[in-house]
Amino acid sequence: MDHLDWMDAADILEELALLRRKLTPGARVLFRSAVKKPPHVALFEQLGFRLEQHVRPTYIRGQPAPPLLDRVNMYASSWVATLRSKAD
């Protein structure tokens, strides 16, 4: 879902709401961004997603590379958002 960097907030909310309707609690969404702290992280949270490691990206350029990093190095950060259950 790296296209989110190019969308405005209203369009991102609309897309995430449609996606959320098709997901079950515990489903995960991977998204990458050209920036280290994308503003749409808050939009995921607003729609009931939990960002892995308390809103920390899975990788930020300049840190030691994890074993499964995309070596193309096009993105500043990668994120995993998990859909919360109603009990969370």
Reading the chain (88 residues) residue by residue, the pLDDT tens digits are 578 999 999 999 999 999 999 999 999 998 888 888 888 999 999 999 998 744 445 566 676 665 555 555 567 778 889 999 876 6
Helix (H) or strand (E) holding 60: strand 59-60
Is the separation of the CB atoms in 39 and 6 below 8 Å? no
> Model-level pTM greater than 0.85?
no
Domain ranges of the chain: 1-23+31-58
Q: Which pairing describes strands 59-60 and 28-33: parallel, antiparallel, or unpaired?
A: unpaired
Contacts of 29 (CB under 8 A, 6+ apart): 1, 19, 23, 44, 49, 80, 81, 82, 83
